[in-house]
Amino acid sequence: MTLAAGRPYVAIPGPTVVPDRVLAAMHRPSPNIYEGELHEMYPGILRDLRAVVGSTTAHVAVYIANGHGAWEAVSSNVFSRGDKALSAITGHFGQTWAVSLRGLGIEVDALDFGRGRSIDPDQIGRALEQDTAHTIRAVLMTHTDTATTVRNDIAAVRAAIDRARHPALLLVDGIASVACEEIRFDQWDVDVLIGASQKGLMMPPGLSFVWFSDKAKDVSEKADLVTPYWNWRTRCFSPEFYRAFAGTAPAQQLYGLREALALITEEGVDAVVARHQTLARAVWAAVDAWGTGGGEIGLNVTDPAARSHAVTSIRIGNGGAARLRRWAEDNAGLTLGIGLGMALPTEPAHHDHLRLAHMGYVNAHMTLGALAVMQAGLLALDIPHGSGAIEQAAAVIADATRR
């Protein structure tokens, strides 16, 4: 017998669940790419992309690339040869972003805050104050580092840059937070924000998005790393639609994206954020209850204010995380995310973390179902855990509907 037959649920932090409406919207023959509907609908897509990040002013470049590609897109527009970046790292993705910059010949000063703590803005401020010659072109931060599931405070980092009276641009990797967390591009004075289609935006992988400010645009006028393909000025400011993608537009993807953005607009951006926050609290409540059982179960990020609302890293010691992942997929059709960058593959702790995503097109029954499957797995595998986890998670959901 298997209990895994039925609709599988891949609860990993990207690619996330793609709504049927989005799949249906993409299922169409290739349109005319020279004129017509594709051209006419693109301004609406850009308008909705601005709305998702609380902006009325940002320029938006869309790339046929995953998040790693968007990192290079941004670097090539912002940096010149010999430039320096200050990188605030709170996990694997911050580290990898720095690797991407170094590969382009950009010097990176890294401030590493570990695997479970958020960025300390004062340290950013001090590093900038020491840079009296203003050789640092930009400060890099991930909003949510999807590996550790640490969430950082964008406004606080901007305030630290301003206090230091430093002209550095603020570049934010929002790949795991766009359409999941509150983002105020204009209000928080972000210069560059990066997103990707396969996370909160509920699309298949393959598109990425770069929102940028006028200040970033000005810097890009002088940056000398840029190549014609990545150039965001041609993409955003050419009258011909063909240039928006530096070649053939990703036609079917744009139809899907339009539908995904319509789903977000119908629900309301604030309601989307509130849903993610509530589902996250349900997950945290369950894990806290499991953690009272004398076993080795707990949330990776102890400070609730530094936790992602879209994905949660959970520690289950003695290799329990890896065993539970295997069990959930084989026995219940639930795929949980691997632990990423929490320990070296050679260390025993490598098998002690998993991630449960509650990102994008996810509702209460999906998250409660995932938690109940994990509960069953803990029982089946004889992993010591506290009781009452599902009751606690259900209480969070019930409370949220009473308000």
Q: Which residues would be at the binding site for ligand PLP (CB under 6 A)? A: 14, 66-68, 93, 142, 146, 173, 175-176, 196, 205
Say whether 83 sits in a helix, a strand or coil: coil
Name the pairing type of β-strands 192-196 and 208-212: antiparallel
Q: For residue 170, with 0-12 CB atoms within 10 Å meaning exposed, 13-18 middle and 19 or more buried, which class applies?
A: buried
- Looking at beta carbons only, is 144 or 278 nearer to ligand PLP? 144
- Looking at beta carbons only, is 327 or 361 nearer to ligand PLP? 361
Token pair recorded at residue 60: 């938006």
Is residue 117 annotated as involved in ligand binding?
no
Nearest approach, Cβ of 135 to ligand PLP (angstroms)? 26
- Are 294 and 318 a contacting pair, CB within 8 Å? no
- Looking at beta carbons only, is 200 or 291 nearer to ligand PLP? 200
Nearest to 235 by CA among 57, 64, 66: 64
CA angle 273, 338, 144 (to 5 degrees): 35
- Looking at beta carbons only, is 207 or 389 nearer to ligand PLP? 207
Alpha-carbon distances, residue 224 vs 39, 104, 193, 198, 236 (angstroms): 31, 12, 20, 30, 18
Nearest approach, Cβ of 399 to ligand PLP (angstroms)? 29
Strand partners, 85: 108, 138
Nearest approach, Cβ of 97 to ligand PLP (angstroms)? 7
Nearest approach, Cβ of 21 to ligand PLP (angstroms)? 22
H or E stretch at 68: helix 67-78
The CA distance from 363 to 308, in Å, is 17
Phi and psi of 62, rounded to 5°? Answer: -115, 130
- Looking at beta carbons only, is 147 or 321 nearer to ligand PLP? 147
Nearest approach, Cβ of 96 to ligand PLP (angstroms)? 7
Residue nearest to ligand PLP (CB): 67
Nearest to 173 by CA among 146, 158, 193: 193
- Looking at beta carbons only, is 178 or 285 nearer to ligand PLP? 178
Q: Which residues are annotated as a binding site for substrate?
A: 355
